[in-house]
Amino acid sequence: MIAYLLRRLLFTVPVLIGISLITFVLIYFLPADPARMYAGPNASVEAVNRIRTQLGLDQPFYVQYGRYLERAVQGDLGYSYQLQMPVTQAILSRFPYTLQLTLAGIFVELLIGVPAGLLAASRRSTWLDGTSMVASLIGVSSPPFWLGLLMLYFFAFRLGLFPLGGAGSWQHLILPAVTAGLGGAGWYARMTRSSALEVLSADYVRTARSKGLAGGQVLRRHVLRNAINPIVTMVGMDIPWFIGGVVLIETVFAWPGIGRMMVDAILTDDVPLILGTVTFTAVLVVVSSIIIDIVQAMLDPRIRLR
């Protein structure tokens, strides 16, 4: 297990170098000028040139990348042009929000998706199955931006039950988490259903039934426990999605997470911040996949980490 962990962590190093290099190359060859973006449209050409020199953007590609790596190894991800603060500080100040939204969003997904999927599977081909699958299809297909605005309009603006976006209290978290969770819940419901259907036809379920266990107990103790693995994998895939992909939800709800910061960085050619957030997200993806592997091994004795 420890050897496994060490090997996985070691494998992270080339992954991170690869990702940062690819990102660096792509930014470098973009037709935009980061120095101009830093200086703003009205700055004079000489001022922009001076800034370019100061930022080291006039150096050849390999020098710039080399300097970046050298500093990154020492834990210095550079200084954001647009936020005017160290990239590490910017990421750390936003990450708690992203983490909150991620955990709350996944909670909503599981809370709605798993029971709906189990229900649909156990009442296969009934109206319950049909209804929950149609509902999940609607959930999956609703654009989060639109859904978020609707939520805000009805629950915050019309009914005044929640704040109109922003962050700072648990009330602020509910609407974005539900918006993020509703879409995802659809995926979970469908995944749980098909996984549970597979398990339902297994011999040990028939055995459990024939020894007289009640339907609910069969579902909880046998079906869910065996159908849970794909769901855990999905949670693992969800974490990076939440970190990089909930931009729209963060945008609608004025949620100060990393996703929005990353898009802003891309739109303003804030090179250090783009590199920093991409690398940070990559680390999170690797870390969350390791955690998921461990959790799966714990849940399913048939899986061994080697």
The residues in 8-47 that bind other proteins, with binding defined as CB under 8 A, are: 22-23, 26-27, 29-33, 36-47
Q: How many of the chain's residues bind other proteins (CB under 8 A)?
A: 74
Among 65, 245, 283, 295, binds other proteins (CB under 8 A): 245
- Residue 180 binding other proteins, by CB under 8 A: no
Give whichever of 34 and 117 is closer to other proteins, judged by the CB atom. Answer: 34
Tokens 């704040």 found at = 163
Q: Which is nearer to other proteins, 142 or 229 (CB)?
A: 142
Q: How far is the CB of 231 from other proteins (least distance, A)?
A: 24
Q: Which one among 165, 229, 233, 300 touches other proteins, defined by CB under 8 A? A: 165
Contact characters 92-121, other proteins, x per CB under 8 A: -xx--x------------------------
Kindly state whether residue 164 participates in binding other proteins, applying the rule CB under 8 A.
yes
3-state secondary structure of 79: strand
Q: Which amino acid is at 2?
A: I
The string of DSSP letters for 210-267 reads HTT--HHHIIIIIIIHHHHHHHHHHHHHHHHHHHHHTHHHHHHTT---HHHHHHHHHH
Cβ neighbours of residue 246 closer than 8 Å, sequence gap 6 or more: 98, 101, 102, 105, 144, 180, 257, 259
SS3 301: coil
State the Cα–Cα distance between residues 300 and 268, nearest whole angstrom: 46
Among 11, 54, 207, 298, the residue binding other proteins under the rule CB under 8 A is 54
Min CB(194)–other proteins separation in Å: 26
Q: Which residues contact 33 (CB under 8 A, 6 or more apart)?
A: 48, 52, 269
Site string for other proteins, 122-161 (x = CB under 8 A): ---------------------x-x---x--xx--xx--x-
Rounded Cα distance, 37 and 35, in Å: 5
Question: Nearer to other proteins by C-beta: 89 or 217?
Answer: 89
Taking the least distance from each CB to other proteins, the nearer of 90 and 199 is 90
Indicate whether 186 belongs to the interface with other proteins (CB under 8 A).
Answer: no
Question: What DSSP designation does 154 have?
Answer: I
